[in-house]
Amino acid sequence: MMDDILADLAEDDYPRPLTAVLVLNENGAGISQARHFAAGFLNTLRDQHEVDVTTEALEITQLIVSELVTNARKYAPGPALLRLQIVGPTLRLDVWDSAPVLPEARSADPERVGQHGLEIITALAETINVRSAPPGKWVTAHISLGTDPRDTAT
């Protein structure tokens, strides 16, 4: 499956998004599998196709996947879906779940135990978007894969 997705990778350009999808059903895939799936997708792009994926981007991706899949498993009945799309130097990470309630970031509270996921995602992702998709919702985060141009400026 991964080879089919990667066959669309062009030498000098990304003419269309590269996509990988993992179905997270009640009986099967969980948080650890989703993290490994995302890491495998990015590692294959980096190691076999020379796509610029920094270690930081890989770690941020795994953390965001963990947070979003944890919420989907905890608050939504039924299956969920993890979709990864590469568009140029950016990873679009989508999680769909069957809970119609849209999450809202809470104000920072160091005394609160748990429920910091959206705060974490907002701090790490370039952008985050939550939208209704009856009967559930999509949560989308965009993550820069390569070196931030601001880090290499002289």
Residue closest to 90 by CA, chosen among 2, 3, 17: 17
DSSP 39-103: HHHHHHHHHHH-----HHHHHHHHHHHHHHHHHHHHH--S-EEEEEEEETTEEEEEEEES--SPP
* Burial (0-12, 13-18, 19+ Cβ within 10 Å), 33: middle
Per-residue pLDDT 10s for the chain (154 aa) are 234 323 433 333 444 468 899 999 876 568 999 999 999 999 998 988 788 999 999 999 999 999 999 989 988 888 899 999 988 899 999 999 999 998 877 776 777 666 667 888 999 999 999 999 989 999 999 999 986 544 444 3
